[in-house]
């Protein structure tokens, strides 16, 4: 027998099935709460990082959550289907047949830009929302990296090399190296690797022989952390490179752009605001140069003329001193030339 309460939640009168339905209703409540939370975050924050959480432990995630709180950032994880459904529901305009029509009709607004996030929800993806500096969040993610051993059957994210040198293992364990064709020798009752050797390539599936040897050598070759896949900001999607751009880089490029614009304006004769100071300076120079050859003058040009006269008076004594100084070496050079002429007579003597 079915019983409905005042909230239209269905229960069976039979005690054997009531527990199952109660759990199902609680699951639905949690799902609705998750929807509301994700929708509120997408509305409150204008920026987000889409992160890859493959091989990231729950301990790492909790540590990252704690570090994000002081800077006002929020992280949310969940199944892709659940996140997509929540965001699609938020983008969809409410209709009267919807259960939540009354609550959404007054507050709904178009937010189709969220579809760009929906399209990127693939694999183990999480969302970190923020209105602050996303580069600071990336630093936190990089700090929370953990070393991990090689597991049989896993795909190697990076190359793995065994370096030459002593291993600390006794000669009885040479079989581990022989299986991977690693050249060794025995030095002072210990196995020593002769040369560096790559045993695993990036993207290669890890075999039991790899895992066993790395475990013997106590090598944890991999490091796992949250990787930023894409950057979302005010409806646009960017690559992770934008997180490496500093305010100084932006200011430097802005100045460079202004300089380029001024150069183009001066060359083309098209007046722009950055070129105005240069145009005025060039016009003043041209006007001032005319006054040096004409009777007409003005206040600013008089100052230039006076400065030019002072420069001439200062340079005249300097030129005299320079001429006197250069005269003496001239005499010395003449004397040297005479001596050279005398010495040339030896060419016809006993030398030949």
- Residues 206 and 275 reside in one and the same domain: no
Residue 232 resides in a domain? no
Q: What span, in angstroms and rounded, lies between the C-alpha atoms of 304 and 292? A: 9
Q: Can you tell me which residue has the tokens 């409905």?
A: 4
Spans of the chain, pLDDT less than 50: 1-18, 21, 316, 320-321, 324-325, 328, 330, 332, 335-352
Residue 90 resides in a domain? yes
Indicate the number of domains in the chain: 4
User: For 138-195, what is each residue's pLDDT tens digit?
Assistant: 999 999 998 889 989 988 988 999 999 999 999 999 999 999 999 999 998 999 999 9
Mean pLDDT over the full length of the chain: 80
Residue 151 resides in a domain? no
- Residues 26 and 82 reside in one and the same domain: yes
Question: What is the structure's pLDDT at 261?
Answer: 84
CATH code at position 48: 3.30.70.1730
Residue 60 resides in a domain? yes
DSSP-derived secondary structure for 227-244: EEEEEEETTEEE-GGGGG
Cβ-Cβ contacts under 8 Å for 73 (sequence gap 6 or more): 128, 129, 130, 132, 137
- Residues 18 and 68 reside in one and the same domain: yes
- Residues 285 and 198 reside in one and the same domain: no
- Residues 82 and 169 reside in one and the same domain: no
| CA–CA distances in Å: residue 153 to residues 208, 222, 231, 250 | 8, 14, 32, 45
Q: Is 87 in contact with 125 (CB distance < 8 Å)?
A: no
Q: What span, in angstroms and rounded, lies between the C-alpha atoms of 350 and 105? A: 120
Residue 239 resides in a domain? no
Question: What's the domain range around 201?
Answer: 160-223
Copy the structure tokens of residue 197. 């050797």
- Residues 82 and 184 reside in one and the same domain: no
- Residues 186 and 254 reside in one and the same domain: no
Q: Label the pairing between strands 2-4 and 10-12.
A: antiparallel
User: For 44-85, what is each residue's pLDDT tens digit?
Assistant: 999 999 999 988 989 999 999 999 999 999 999 999 999 999
From 170, 191, 223, give the residue that closes a domain.
223
pTM given for the model: 0.62
- Residues 69 and 202 reside in one and the same domain: no
- Residues 187 and 202 reside in one and the same domain: yes
């Amino acid at each position: 027998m079915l019983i409905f309460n005042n909230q239209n939640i269905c229960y069976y009168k039979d005690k054997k099935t009531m527990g199952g339905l109660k759990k199902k209703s609680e699951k639905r409540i949690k799902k609705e709460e998750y929807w509301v939370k994700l929708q509120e975050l997408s509305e409150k924050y204008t920026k987000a990082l889409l992160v890859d959480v493959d091989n990231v432990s729950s301990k790492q995630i909790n540590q990252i959550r704690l570090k994000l709180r002081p800077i006002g950032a929020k992280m949310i994880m969940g199944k892709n289907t659940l996140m997509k459904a929540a965001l699609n529901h938020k983008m969809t305009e409410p209709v009267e047949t919807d259960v939540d029509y009354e609550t959404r009709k007054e507050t709904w607004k178009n937010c189709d830009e969220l579809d760009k996030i929906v399209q990127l929800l693939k694999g183990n993806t999480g969302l970190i929302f923020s209105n602050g500096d996303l580069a600071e969040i990336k630093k936190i993610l990089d700090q929370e990296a953990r070393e991990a051993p090689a597991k049989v059957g896993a795909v190697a994210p990076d190359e793995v090399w065994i370096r030459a040198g002593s291993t600390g293992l006794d000669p009885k364990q040479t079989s581990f190296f022989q299986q991977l064709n690693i050249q060794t020798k025995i030095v002072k009752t210990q196995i020593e690797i002769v040369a560096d050797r790559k045993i695993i390539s990036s993207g290669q599936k890890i075999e039991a022989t790899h895992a066993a040897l790395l475990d013997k050598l106590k090598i944890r070759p991999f490091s796992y952390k949250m990787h930023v896949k894409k950057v979302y900001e005010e409806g646009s999607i960017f690559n992770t490179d934008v997180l490496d751009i500093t305010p100084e880089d932006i200011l430097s490029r802005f100045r460079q752009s202004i300089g380029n614009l001024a150069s183009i304006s001066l060359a083309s004769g098209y007046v722009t605001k950055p070129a105005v100071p240069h145009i005025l300076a060039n016009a003043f120079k041209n006007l001032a140069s005319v006054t040096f050859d004409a009777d007409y003058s003005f206040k600013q040009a008089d100052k230039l003329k006076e400065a030019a006269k002072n420069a001439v008076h200062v340079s005249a004594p300097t030129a005299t001193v320079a001429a006197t100084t250069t005269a003496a070496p001239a005499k010395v050079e003449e004397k040297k030339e005479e001596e050279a002429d005398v010495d040339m007579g030896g060419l016809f003597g006993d030398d030949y």
